[in-house]
Structure 1
Amino acid sequence: MAKIKERQKALRLRKLGQSYAQIKKVLGVSKSTLSYWLRNHPLSVKRIRELRDWNQARIEHYIETRRRKRENILREIYIKEKNIILPLSQQEIFIGGLFLYLGEGGKTKEYELSLSNTDPAILKIFIHWLTKILNVPKNKLRIKLHLYEDMNVRGEIKFWSEELKIPFSQFTKPYIKKTKRSSLTYKGGFGHGTCNVIIGDAKLAKRIFMGLEVIRDYFSKRASSLAV
């Protein structure tokens, strides 16, 4: 008797244009059972299209809700970390710059400091460190770009000049790779080549390189003390 009532209710819901999934949610019966009961009651093409559009809208709404939720979570974490990290003292920025240089900076030339990257944000940190913490005059910096042969050289110089707030006059002749960026499988980066910020100052370079040694020694000793 219960099955008969369920079937009758399923038929009523079907006549209202509900899908198998919607009816299954109401009655709790299997999809195979519904398929048998409703085999002679297909939905119209118009109704199928409406359900498909509704499902797409529901999916998009779900994705948007998840995106907003994720953004809110990340925003809360950002605010929390900002309150922990900032403000930074001059000493903290100096040490942070040493760690940046230890990981990313050039170490083969003892008479200069240099850092290459595709990310303008990394280079802005480096330039701030040089000019605001190490008191390097900004007009002493040199910029060298590494580009691909199918890139607009002047356009890329303009991009980096505007990003880093450094005039064209401080850019040296770019290095052009004999490869087309469009032919690369993995392009990565920001699509504007690699930018190298350079300051020629042997005295400053010695100071920074010795600072890197201090950091290496400090953590080497700590690692040794933890060894069993």
Structure 2
Amino acid sequence: MVSDDSANLTCVIIGCMVKDYEGLKKQAIRLRKEGLSYGEISKDSGIPKSTLSYWLKNIPLERHQKERFYTKQIQYLSLGAQSQKERRKREIEEIINLAAEEISLPITPDAYRLIGAALYWAEGSKGGMLEMTNSDPHLILFFVRWTEIIFNIPAINLKARLNIYPQQNESEVKKFWSELTDIPVKNFGKTYVKPFSSGYKKNNLYYGTMRIEVPKSTNMKHKVFGWLKAVLSENEMKVKLVQRKWQKLAGTSRPINL
């Protein structure tokens, strides 16, 4: 049998709980009418969002309050996208740094020679003399040093040409590439300036496009492709077989300007 004291205590506890419940609900309603979101009310009062949704579903909002919620949602989405972008950027940097640690330096002479040959295969001129055209300072400097180490041709004997936009300072761009490569400014030929266009993509690291020319180097170019032939020889048979099978593709016409 429950004593009178226990019953009274139970009533007091239940009464307090009901009172506290009603107080929290009134507080939530007041905050909602002030224009706070469920998240803001939950953070302020500790009431779960699910409870707030049930309590406040019939509380009307003013137009400016709805606009405020919409603006904040856009901001949160933007911050979330930016956060994901930054996280992915860090992941990529980590991948690159770990991969760099896999390479043993200094590179062996044979590896260095073949790296340069592969870069030339991808980016170099296939006709005439040895020529490399690119806008990446790292690649251009590598080619200049590679030419000196592999073919014993110093930078002072190389020729160069620039390809720039009208708004760029030709003299300053020449000085940049000359300082980077040690090719004298007097070795630079006539600069090609692209026709003016109203649409330009801003790039604070753009130094124009640099073309390196190695004089009297036709035989050197053939030598480079000989090194590549040796590396690719194990694939040569399959390439020829597939090309022969699909010979009909070779007769496909293409636009003259390609």
Per the alignment, residue 94 of structure 2 pairs with 76
Per the alignment, residue 188 of structure 2 pairs with 171
> Identity of paired residues, percent?
25
Per the alignment, residue 173 of structure 2 pairs with 156
CA separation in 2, counterparts of 1:192 and 1:157?
A: 9
Per the alignment, residue 28 of structure 2 pairs with 10
Per the alignment, residue 213 of structure 1 pairs with 229
2:32 equivalent to 1:26: no
1:199 to 214, 219, 222: 214
Q: Which has the higher contact order (CA 8 A, sep 6+)?
A: 1
2:120 equivalent to 1:101: yes
2:168 equivalent to 1:146: no
Unaligned runs of 5+ in 2: 1-17, 243-258
Equivalent pair of 1:118/1:190 in contact (CA under 8 Å): no
CA 1:32 to 1:175, structure 2 compared with 1: closer, same or farther past 3 Å?
farther
Measured after TM superposition, the shift of residue 16 of structure 1 is: 7.8
Measured after TM superposition, the shift of residue 136 of structure 1 is: 1.9
Supply the AA of the counterpart residue of 1:18: L
CA 1:189 to 1:197, structure 2 compared with 1: closer, same or farther past 3 Å?
farther
Q: Report the 3-state secondary structure (helix = DSSP H, G, I; strand = E; otherwise coil) of the residue aligned with 2:131.
A: strand
Count of residue pairs the alignment pairs up: 216
Supply the AA of the counterpart residue of 1:159: F
Supply the AA of the counterpart residue of 2:124: G
CA separation in 2, counterparts of 1:18 and 1:99?
A: 62
1:127 to 126, 134, 144: 144
Q: Report the 3-state secondary structure (helix = DSSP H, G, I; strand = E; otherwise coil) of the residue aligned with 1:85.
A: coil
Equivalent pair of 1:143/1:172 in contact (CA under 8 Å): yes
Q: Report the 3-state secondary structure (helix = DSSP H, G, I; strand = E; otherwise coil) of the residue aligned with 1:183.
A: coil
Unaligned runs of 5+ in 1: none
Measured after TM superposition, the shift of residue 119 of structure 1 is: 1.6
Equivalent pair of 2:25/2:55 in contact (CA under 8 Å): no
CA separation in 2, counterparts of 1:60 and 1:184?
A: 27
CA separation in 2, counterparts of 1:199 and 1:167?
A: 14
Per the alignment, residue 4 of structure 2 pairs with none
CA separation in 1, counterparts of 2:145 and 2:82?
A: 38
- For residues 74-104 of structure 1, the C-alpha deviation after alignment (integer angstroms, 9 at most, x for no partner) is 3332232012123222211111111111111
CA separation in 1, counterparts of 2:158 and 2:50?
A: 72
- For residues 90-141 of structure 1, the C-alpha deviation after alignment (integer angstroms, 9 at most, x for no partner) is 21111111111111111110xx200101222221221122122332222111
CA separation in 1, counterparts of 2:192 and 2:63?
A: 65
Task: Output the TM-score relative to the length of structure 2.
Answer: 0.64
When the two chains are superposed, the root-mean-square deviation of aligned CA atoms in Å is: 4.3
CA 1:188 to 1:14, structure 2 compared with 1: closer, same or farther past 3 Å?
closer
Equivalent pair of 2:178/2:185 in contact (CA under 8 Å): yes
Equivalent pair of 1:118/1:189 in contact (CA under 8 Å): no
Supply the AA of the counterpart residue of 2:177: W
Aligned counterparts, 1:46-61, within 5 A: 56=75
Supply the AA of the counterpart residue of 2:121: L
Higher mean Cα deviation, 124-133 or 99-108? 124-133
CA 1:189 to 1:126, structure 2 compared with 1: closer, same or farther past 3 Å?
farther
